[in-house]
Structure 1
Amino acid sequence: MKKLIILCSILVLSRIVLAQSTTYAILPKPNKLAEKTGTFTLPNTVKISVDDEAVRFIADMLAGQLAKATGRTPSVTTGKSGKAAIRFESAKGDKLGAEGYALRVTPKQIVISAEKPQGFFYGLQSLLQLMPAEVFSPTAVRNVVWSVPCCIIEDQPRYAYRGLHLDVGRHFFPVSFVKKYIDLIALHKQNVFHWHLTEDQGWRIEIKKYPKLTEVGSQRKQSMIGRYGENRYDGTPYSGFYTQDEVREVVRYAQERFVTVIPEIELPGHSMAILAGYPELGSSPDKIVPVATKWGVFDDVLFPREETFTFLQDVLTEVMDLFPSQYIHIGGDECPKTQWKQSRFCQDLMKREGLKDEHELQSYFIRRIDKFITSKGRKMIGWDEILEGGLSPNATVMSWRGTEGGIAAARQGHDAIMTPGGFCYLDHYQADPKTQPIAIGGFTTLEKTYGYEPTPDSLNAEEAKHIIGVQGNVWTEYMLTPEYVEYMVWPRAIALAEVGWTNKDRKNVDEFKQRLAVHQKRLDFLNVNYFGAPINNKFQYQMPTQTASKK
């Protein structure tokens, strides 16, 4: 009898959880949500009020979206109007933090409270996700009951850094798509767009002082197609870069959505696009170095000469003028040491500086860059290879080769962002490769990504504080179009968004999938070509492939 009672209780509880997950299908999941009876229905004339002019633009975002979807334009007023249907109300104290919010829905009114604009913005995202999916429609939808289930939410993120990356070096994507990418980052309460702007296969950002970076470095004569080992090429020239005005436009767009854009300028490896225009920065000024047409890792790298440091300081100065982000990413990964080992200059430099091997020479290189970035009031991020030969004093480590780099950095008192390939690389296959478009390799399902825990158990409480967040990475060797990128990124990036926002004791993969099923209807209105979407035929299928390299 007791077993039957327990079983019945489990079934009832499961049904309650299922009902809540579909009624309150918010992604990422709020950390506190109390279900209440009843619903709020939008009146024919919607009034929105804000008590702080600094957040009026967020209320205007809501009004604009409601106007598009309902065909009725709400009014927005500034002041303490208790009669408004939807109120943005400043919270007292510091309970919610910079990104936290409270959302209270009653049959008569909706109130979003926060201490900072970011919190109001994230409260808005949750409110929109409580409404019918049609609220994301770009045009008016008729015969919809615009209701919101009653509830009380108190919510704030688990990690301060919640990022999504995009490689535009292998394949270039227009500003319009970059903006859509940022919209989706913001919708899922992520707050960092890591823009991978330079690669062996293409330099994608205008630098005024060094025009050959785009005149030469942004163009390659052809691209690989098919399996990596087949060495087949399309014979078609490929090019593209962002002007500084376009970069400013993207940064400004992201700021309005509380997304920080972190630029990545690769060094000292993955630099063939630099050397194509400025070979004197590599092994020989007389060497012809083409922009790479093949994917992978190459021996041609930057040399630690004073001319190289002057060049990089000039480039980074222009980059920092364009990007106000606290962090500047310098790559630092996959730098072969072959040419350094064969160079009299490098070997003499190592003796002069007391460096025991080429790994320490790379550390010397990175420390020089770190010192310059720090002198400009910024912080440097690098891939976990920057640990080799001794970590730069002020560096933050992005751990991609598993979790070991992040653990080592945290134990040394350095901040770390966790992005291990097995969980966070969204260029991996997400289903049986025989059924999927070409990808770089690997196998990372939605469930595996969702199950990732960024803070390792092996760290003590003080060390664990240095794990500041998590990021999904998107390398685009085989992603030729925006639709292809969307197919690979979503919904796995949504799973990572929940990993970064929601406390681990609140997570449940089955319940997540129930909310995701509702959320997919929103993505349909947003015209996102996610895995499983009805529009998945928007890109060309190719045979599966695999490479040994991350990039």
Structure 2
Amino acid sequence: MIYKKMTCLKFLFLLLSTCFINAQSPVQVDKNLGLIPTPHQLIQKKGHFQLSGAITVGVNQTELEPIAKILINYLNRIAKVDLDFVDAKEKRAKIQLKINKDLKPNSHSVKVGKIIELEGQSYEAVANAVASLVQLVKNSEKGSSIPHVTITDSPKSDFRSVMLDLARFWHPTETIKETIDLLWLYKIKYLSLHLSDNKRFTFPLENYPKVNKTHFDGSREFYTKDELKDLVDYAKKRGVTIIPEIEVPGHSGVLWSTYPEIFGSVDDKTSEAKPLYVVNMAKESTYSALNEIISEVAEVFYNSPYLHVGGDEVYLENLKKVPEYQEYTSKHNLQEAAKGDANELFCHFINRMNSMVKAQGKKTIIWEGFHGTGSKNLTVDKDITVIVWNTTYNHPQNLLDNGYHIVNSTWMPWYMVGAMNFAPTQKQAYSWKPTQWSHWQDSIEDIEVNSDKGILGGQISFWEQNHFKVIPVLRKRVPILAAHLWSGGIEATYDEFSNTLDSSDKLYGKLFRPITFNVQGLLNEADQRFKEKLVIEINSKKDVEYKWSFSNSWNLPNMGEAKTYETPIEIERSGILTVQAFSAGVPIGHPIQEYYEKVIPAYSYKLYGPLPKKTWSSVPNLSSFKQIREGVSGFMSNERLDKINGELFAKVERDGHIDTRFYGVYNPYIVELKGNLSLPESTTYTFRLTTDDGLANIYIDGKQIAKGTELKKVSEDFTVNLSKGEHTLRLEYFYSKIQNQLNLKYKTDKMDGFLPFERLVTPLKN
């Protein structure tokens, strides 16, 4: 009897153990389930949480209601599930959000079983948990579900940032909000906004309103405080914090030229502003005014722990000529400055700015711009965070050795320059480490510091970009930065990671750009060029209304008042198509914009790349490079030139410019253009070739008649005798870094001046 009881108990124990193991043992299906960034600890279990029927979402603290409602919105968008918010501390909620102060700083957990529990040490950490949960959603023909998992996670690097340059080109708030959404999805903590520069001050100043410019049509080049506060709130709800930057003492022309009596120096003879190229650091009124500005900016961006005050590319020579210079340097015992070393005054300025920022309860950020630790008798404060980008002003190892905390925003791969078509490749970003710096100039050596101690994190710095390039450039680069900084590296192979990134990018599209087109009439599917007419059919979805607008301007229209899509859109001229999806009158995601160019076909083209970092002294053999695209391009037109120069900070010359820009290609390449010439007479022709940061060759009838040798913007003339009639043409051109400019002109002995080369080019047939 005792034996039978023991046998039964043993059997029951084994049965219960088996059930427990089956319920709890991890299932190795996918080591990270497609999450970017990869969690530090993830255990997948058997089973799925089905996103079907009525599902309630509740919070343990009322402050979590915004992120809970965002979760509901996004899950409804990608899974078509019926989620509903319930009051705080509601016990019956199937998805529960909670702040748990007992967790370690910045950490969160995701537990998916019969219910879903999201916990974070702070609101931001809970927002990170929500991003993980949204990425876990799997869609199939059977419906949507989330695998049973337990995730415990926290970031390795706290400073994870993307910077937008709002001061060179105007950005609608809609673009900034979409950028915030992108950062939320990949757990990027900060959005840094470059708010001022030489020509524009986008923060609205109460006491110095003349720096805030308004166009004749009433459009503004600055934001209202309500707009900025709305952006701060939008970001905060998603666990993202906006860091403001007011650029001084350099890049501040709008201050010292508009208010020279306060920020600069007035020429007594002309009563105009003297060209200082910096704010007047030897004038007390400058400091008083800047203190007012810092206070005003800090109030709007109240939740940012940082305030960025610039500090790079400072020109000091003219500052030494202002009448206040000697008095100010003597008063503040700046002995080296008094002797002519204005660098000491610059370091003094940085420290005074730091005091102002700290008085607002914030920490100071500056660009790498001072040398060593400052000057002979003055050390730049060690509690300032330095963003190291160029490495020529200060070596990152020197800063670390001297106790500074730094942020890595190296040129390669984290500097984007939209106006220059410069955006290092995804593969370069994949191979980066936070301890590495690489410059775009060959002459500046790559750097790797001893360890990551003292490196707070990294930042993508996106300069001189138009708003319509922000998301196309960032959407597959931000996830790579996130993967490095959150997880401490990428363990997957490049191909594995690329596949995960493609999947994650599709999710991004469903959430924030849920609009797809079928376009008929393009000369090449990879380009946006057409010859006669385009027919664009929007892939419609049930219960979704699409509105569209077509114009010559990139200005974002009021989509609520745009045309409703009912039949395919026909386009017969160049312009920008803007489309927005709506559900019950509420926007879904963000509007998308595409520029379609009507051309007279002039060349067939082939693109080759990617190009190595080191440039050449002549155009290399094209056969040694991979072909990345081919298609048809058109003649340069005034309309196209306006579009090109509208996207550029440094404009191209209008006469003779050849279009060598291609849709969606952001890095240096070699292009081969083939076409035909029709020469009006038999005579001597002189071809004037000008490139900038690149080289070109010209072939006529298979014979090389021009070989460019000038890598800088210097014109070269090539003379050749040619007969009247038809000839074949081939152009080879590469730009090596950040200046995509090919200019060709011609003249004969009978002509007084040069004319655009394309006057000799005949349209392609068929």
For the pair 1:355 / 2:362, whether they are aligned, the reply is no
Whether the 8 Å CA contact 1:484–1:538 is kept in 2: the answer is no
Q: Distance in 2 between matches of 1:56 and 1:511?
A: 36
Give the CA deviation at 1:55. 2.3
Tell me the C-alpha RMSD between the 2 structures. Answer: 3.4
**Contact 2:264-2:273 within 8 A present in 1 as well:** no
Q: Is 1:484 paired with 2:465?
A: no
| CA gap 1:484/1:343 in 2 versus in 1, 3 angstroms | same
Distance 1:313 1:160 in 2: 28
Deviations 1:99-132 (A, max 9, x none): 22111223x3322233322222111111111114
Alignment equivalent of 1:380, drawn from 359, 364, 368:
364
Cα-to-partner distance string for 1:332-353 (whole Å, 9 max, x where unaligned): 1111123124445435644652
Residue 166 of structure 1: CA displacement?
0.5
Q: Does the alignment pair 1:303 with 2:303?
A: no
For the pair shown, the structure with the greater C-alpha radius of gyration is 2
* Residue 391 (structure 1) aligns with: 380
Q: How is 1:455-474 mapped onto 2 (pairs within 5 angstroms)?
A: 455=435, 458-459=449-450, 464-474=452-462
Match of 1:499 in 2: 484
TM-score normalised by the chain length of structure 1: 0.78
Amino acid corresponding to residue 149 of structure 1 in structure 2: P
Residue 246 of structure 2 contacts residue 310 of structure 2 at CA under 8 Å; is this kept in 1?
A: yes
Question: Secondary structure of 1:104's match?
Answer: strand
Look up the SS of the partner of 2:82 in the other structure.
coil
Identity of aligned residues (%): 25
Instruction: Tell me what 2:241 maps to.
Output: 260
Which of 403, 409, 428 is equivalent to 1:419?
409
Deviations 1:296-354 (A, max 9, x none): xx962211111111111111121112111221101011111231244454356446521
Determine helix, strand or coil for the equivalent of 1:74: strand
Q: Which residue in 2 is equivalent to 1:407?
A: 397
Choose which of 106, 113, 118 in structure 2 pairs with 1:99: 106
Greater share of helix: 1
Decide whether the 8 Å contact of 1:262 with 1:327 is kept in 2.
yes
**Residues 159, 500 of structure 1: 8 Å contact kept:** yes
Equivalent residue, structure 2, for 1:332: 311
Change (3 A) 1:51 1:345: closer
Paired position in structure 2 for 1:163: 161
5 Å-filtered alignment, 1:44-63, equals 44-63=53-72
Contact 1:279 1:289 in 2 (8 A): yes
Give the equivalent residue in structure 2 for 1:173: 171
Aligned match for 1:34, one of 15, 18, 43: 43
Return the offset for 1:49. 3.1
**1:475 aligned onto 2:484:** no
Q: State the match for 1:227 in structure 2.
A: none
Q: Is the 8 A contact 1:169 1:196 kept in 2?
A: yes
**1:246–1:200 distance in 2 versus 1, CA, 3 Å:** same
Structure-2 change in CA distance of 1:244 and 1:50 (3 Å): closer
Deviations 1:45-83 (A, max 9, x none): 1122333333233222222333444162424243363x5
Are 2:163 and 2:459, in contact at CA under 8 Å, matched by a contact in 1? Answer: yes
2: distance between equivalents of 1:341 and 1:90? Answer: 55
Q: In proportion to residue count, which structure has more strand?
A: 2
- Contact 1:203 1:213 (8 Å CA) reproduced: yes
Task: Identify the residue that residue 116 of structure 2 maps to in structure 1.
Answer: 110
Shift of 1:157: 0.5
Query: In structure 2, what residue type is equivalent to 1:382?
Result: I
Distance in 1 (CA, whole Å) between partners of 2:82 and 2:278 is 58
Aligned length: 480
Deviation, structure 1 residue 393: 4.3
Q: Give CA deviations for 1:225-250 in whole Å, capped at 9, x if unaligned.
A: xxxxxxxxxxx999511011211111
* Counterparts of 2:260 and 2:328, CA distance in 1: 20
Contact 1:366 1:386 in 2 (8 A): no
8 Å contact 2:74–2:134 — kept in the other structure? no
Distance 1:65 1:246 in 2: 24
Equivalent residue runs for 1:224-243 within 5 Å: 240-243=221-224
1:76 matches 2:76: no
8 Å CA contact 1:39, 1:150 repeated in 2: yes
- Does the CA-based 8 Å contact 1:200-1:273 persist in structure 2? yes
- Matched-pair contact (CA < 8 Å) for 1:398–1:417: yes
**For residue 209 of structure 1, what is the aligned residue in structure 2?**
207
Task: Give 1:411 shift.
Answer: 2.0
Distance 1:206 1:270 in 2: 18
How far 1:200 sits from its partner (Å)? 0.9
For 2:453 and 2:69, the matched residues in 1 are separated by 37
Q: Which amino acid aligns with 2:495?
A: D
For normalisation by structure 2, the TM-score amounts to: 0.57
Displacement of 1:43: 3.0
Alignment CA distance shift 1:92-1:332 (3 Å): closer
Q: 2:264 aligns with which of 279, 282, 285?
A: 282
Q: 1:308 to 1:520 in 2, by over 3 A?
A: same
C-alpha distance in 2 between matches for 1:492 and 1:64: 25
Shift of 1:451: 2.3
CA–CA distance in structure 2, aligned partners of residues 190 and 247 of structure 1 = 20
How many angstroms apart in 2 are the aligned matches of 1:529 and 1:426?
26
In the other structure, the counterpart of 2:6 is none
Deviation, structure 1 residue 529: 11
Alpha carbons 2:52, 2:81 under 8 Å: kept: no
